[in-house]
Amino acid sequence: MKAAIAGAGIAGLAAANALAARGWTVDVYEKSPGLRSSGYAIDFFGPGYDAAEQMGLVPAIRQHALKIDDVIFVNEDDRPASTLNLKYAMQAAGDRWISLLRGDLEKVLHAALPEGVTLHYGHKAEGAQSKDGKGVLQFSDGSQVEADLVIGADGVHSAVRRSVFGPESGFSRFLGYHTAAFVFEDEALHREIGDAVRALNLPGRQVWLYPLDERSGDASKSRGELAAFFVHSAQEERPSEDPKAELRRVYGDLGWHVPRILQVLDTVDDLYFDSLSQIEMERWHDGRVVLLGDAAWAVTLLAGQGASLGVGGALALAEMLGDGSAIDQGLAAFETALMPDILDKQKAGRQAASWFAPQTAFGLTIRHIVLRILNLPGLSRLIGPLLAPSAKGFSL
d(CA 47, CA 39): 22
| Secondary structure of residue 281 in the 3-state scheme | coil
Every domain of the chain and the residues it spans: 2-35+102-173+280-355
pLDDT in tens, the chain (396 residues): 999 999 999 999 999 999 999 999 999 999 998 887 656 788 888 889 999 999 999 999 999 988 877 889 998 988 988 887 777 666 666 678 888 888 899 999 999 999 889 999 999 999 999 999 999 999 999 999 999 999 999 999 999 999 999 999 999 999 999 999 998 999 999 888 888 889 998 999 999 998 886 444 454 455 688 999 999 999 888 878 899 999 999 999 999 999 999 999 988 888 899 999 999 999 999 999 999 999 999 998 776 788 999 999 999 999 999 999 999 999 999 999 999 989 988 888 887 777 777 888 888 888 888 777 766 655 555 554 444 434 333 333
Which class in CATH covers the domain with range 2-35+102-173+280-355?
Answer: alpha beta
Closest to 221 in 3D by CA, of 382, 42, 64: 64
d(CA 382, CA 125): 46
CB of 129 closer than 8 Å to CB of 136: yes
CB of 102 closer than 8 Å to CB of 10: yes
Q: How far is CA 378 from each of CA 71, 89, 256, rounded to the nearest angstrom?
A: 20, 15, 33
Q: What is the H or E stretch that residue 212 is in? A: strand 205-212
Residues in CB range of 326: below 8 A, 6 or more apart: none
d(CA 247, CA 226): 18
d(CA 270, CA 262): 14
User: CA 359, 361, 366, 372 torsion: positive or negative?
Assistant: positive
